[in-house]
Amino acid sequence: MKTFTAVVQRDPDTGLYVGYVPGFAGAHSQAESLDELQANLREVIALLLEDGAPKLEAEFVGIQTVSVA
- pLDDT one-digit tens code per residue, 13-66: 999 999 999 989 999 999 999 999 999 999 999 999 998 877 788 888 888 899
- Three-class SS state of 11: coil
Residue 1's pLDDT band (boundaries 50, 70, 90)?
A: confident
The domains of the chain, with CATH numbers, are 1-69 (3.30.160.250)
Query: Looking at residue 35, what is its pLDDT?
Result: 98
- Three-class SS state of 32: coil
- Mean of pLDDT values over 2-8: 92
Query: Looking at residue 63, what is its pLDDT?
Result: 85
Handedness of CA 47, 50, 56, 57 (dihedral sign): negative
